[in-house]
Chain A
Amino acid sequence: MASPDPVTSTGADGPAGGDTAAEQPDRPPFRKLYRSPHSRMLGGVAHGLAVHLGLPVTWVRAAFVLLFFANGIGVLLYAAFWFVVPIGIGEPALGSEWVWAGGQFVPAGASGVTPEPLRKGRRGRLGRLRDLLQGTFQGEPVIAEQAVPGEPPAAASRRNAGQLAALLMLVVGVMWLLNALHLQSSQPYAWPLLAIGVGVALVWRQADDSRWARWFGLTGGRRRSAVARVGAGVLLVAAGIVGFLILQGTGSAVGSVVEASLAVLAGVLVLTGPYALRMWQDLGAERTARIRAQERAEIAAHIHDSVLHTLTLIQRRAEDPKEVQRLARAQERELRLWLYRPEAAAEAAPDTLAERIREVVAEVEDRHGVPIELVCVGDCPMDERIAAQMQAAREAMVNAAKYGGGAPVQVYAEVEGRTVLVFVRDHGPGFDPDTVPEDRMGVRESIIGRMKRHGGTARVRPAPDGGTEVELEMERAADD
């Protein structure tokens, strides 16, 4: 009899779901202070603080506004938070990103909270204007609307208006602050200072949102625009400083100041350069290793599904050379296709779930000579995740055909909203996943591991009256 596999924390008899929390070992600590990437007005500081302190966000915002009137401390505080506190997007854990939902961070896809793509249709003129403004600062469109998928258009445009107002108020506030700090006499300093401020904001905003990794991995246009933005920021700051110096009357000394600055800068670079380079390389190496490990797991799973099964069949039919040759040839062809022309393999596959699973069923039925009864409810277009799920389902069917004692295998696939469920049931003796040796890859890698890598879940449990049932659950990648 099968019992729940501790590796997967599969609920043996409970209904689906409810165990997603236990399945996420790298869940970010909630109590840590993060800026909220979603539903923010400016930097997400107030929202993050509100969540951290458990206060209504309006209170925090009001506090900042009140503090602003105390000689602008509010703005300085806000800026300090903005610069110091990291934004709450965890290091994207390969394939899954953390999203902000229901007051906490949850892994996207794991619990049904997938950020929806931007809905172009319902943004008003205000929204576009705000996007333009924020786009200048952020280098990419705002993601606020992704955070609140079900939001009615009216509320969305209210939020747009709110964020726009916040941005305008920030600008006005900074001007006012500058006015307050350098009263009448030093009025001219406002402009260089403002230039410096905008420049710094540009650079910081660019680096915001934990986008460093993506930034360095950007291709073509986006990378160029990022570089341009940083360049503009640096130029603005430099211009501000020069203007400041000229206004102070030390314009004649600009040359020597620049010289000295450059010398110091060069010194700092020489001192810290090796460390920075080392860190950079380590980062790259670590990323490569992670990608490689994932790729290896994927290849191992595929080899197991195809080549190892064929070898087993060949062993069983060793006395029939024709059949052995046929199997070997078919396998060779398939493996070559998969290894060297993955795009052709993908093209050959049908593009809807029902067709694909029918094909898989027919293939397994043919090869293993065990009848498989398929019931398919609903349909949806294929995507990468569903393709992985189909591979896992195929493996489950092969297992059921091999160890199910020859009785018909029952497969049930259902598309319910965004969730795709596949059940594979056999009437065999059942087995205990815990007793399966480490080197047996079937269930652990080809089914459970594969589903996990693509953001789904797999459960293996005993069926009520004997046999084993494998349940595969996957969220669809995007709307059709």
Chain B
Amino acid sequence: MTDAESVPDRTARVVLVDDHRMFRTGVRAEIGRTEVTGIDVVGEADDVESAVRVVAETRPDVVLLDVHLPGGGGVEVLRRSTAVMGEPGGVKFLALSVSDAADDVIGVIRGGARGYVTKTITGADLVGAIFRIADGDAVFSPRLAGFVLDAFAATDTPPVDEDLDRLTQREREVLRLIARGYAYKEIAKQLFISVKTVESHVSAVLRKLQLSNRHELTRWATARRLV
């Protein structure tokens, strides 16, 4: 993928949080060449304590956050970083995980992460995702899109709450294409809309997921014995 975002006409400051040194080194090697990718890795952390500290000190644009961490996991990092997340232009979190368990995924998204990608992602895609997150958009991996569809599918029948709770037809379509493995650009092509529109659909989904669908998600999680 050679998105316009991956051309280094701008830079993003990134912190890597992962308890595996090898993985951090690999990611840094893959995306850390600032002159090519525009990514500047300003810090690393390997557990919750150090992650919270490093993030507070460096105030990066984006934190690549592993879901499983010693000391409480990615959710705990998110919980203790609300101060730096809240303000406009604040730190944004992108979950990067091997885990494809629904509770992990939904947990970090509910915790405030702006996106979720799995570790099978390519370097170029990851760079693109980081810039999207830095711009305030949301990035979903196919699996996360699947989880969200699944979660909202249960709410299809009864119109429970206000419209805010339900995904629009278009958002559903976009999620379905993400789940089928389409990149944002391909989705735009397929649906004859702009990439910006795709991004705004995805952001809308994230907003609904975080804010308004609380009880549906709880019900969904309970049904699957996740909580």
The chain A residues found within 8 Å of chain B, CB to CB, are: 371, 373, 375-378, 408, 410, 412, 414, 416, 423, 425, 463-465, 469
Contact = CB atoms under 8 A, between A and B. Distances in A.
Nearest to B181: A410
A412 B153 contact: no
Interface string B136-153: 000000110110011001
Contacts of A469: 180
A376 B143 CA distance: 8
A416 B143 CA distance: 17
Residue among B118, B176, B183, B190 with max Cβ neighbours from chain A (10 Å): B176
A200 B217 CA distance: 64
B120 interface: yes
B153 A378 contact: yes
A373 B149 contact: no
Contacts of B183: 465
Given A414-B179, A425-B181, 16 more contacts: A373-B120, A373-B142, A373-B143, A376-B146, A377-B149, A377-B150, A410-B180, A410-B181, A412-B176, A414-B149, A423-B180, A463-B182, A463-B186, A464-B189, A465-B186, A469-B180
Contacts of B153: 377-378, 416
B209 to A, nearest CB: 15
Given A377-B150, A377-B153, A425-B180, A412 B186 contact: no
B185 interface: yes
Residue among A375, A377, A410 with max Cβ neighbours from chain B (10 Å): A375
A373 B190 contact: no
11 contacts: A373-B181, A375-B142, A375-B179, A377-B149, A377-B150, A378-B150, A410-B180, A412-B179, A414-B149, A414-B179, A425-B180
B149 A465 contact: no
Contacts of A373: 118, 120, 142-143, 181
A382 B118 CA distance: 30
Contacts of A423: 180
Contacts of A408: 120
B135 to A, nearest CB: 22
B142 A410 contact: yes
Interface of B: 118, 120, 142-143, 145-146, 149-150, 153, 176, 179-183, 185-186, 189-190
B120 A464 contact: no
B78 to A, nearest CB: 24
A414 B149 CA distance: 9
A375 B146 contact: yes
Contacts of B179: 375, 377, 412, 414
Contacts of B145: 375
B146 A464 contact: no
A-B pairs, top 7 by smallest CB distance, nearest first, are: A410-B181, A375-B146, A464-B186, A412-B180, A375-B179, A464-B189, A377-B149
Contacts of A465: 183, 185-186, 189
A414 B176 contact: yes
Nearest to A469: B180
Contacts of A425: 180-181
A463 B190 CA distance: 9
A143 B214 CA distance: 45
Nearest to B187: A464
Nearest to B145: A375
A13 to B, nearest CB: 8
B153 to A, nearest CB: 6
Contacts of A464: 182, 186, 189-190
B53 to A, nearest CB: 35
Contacts of B143: 373, 375
Contacts of B185: 465
Contacts of B189: 464-465
A464 B187 CA distance: 8
A355 to B, nearest CB: 14
Nearest to B175: A377
A441 B182 CA distance: 28
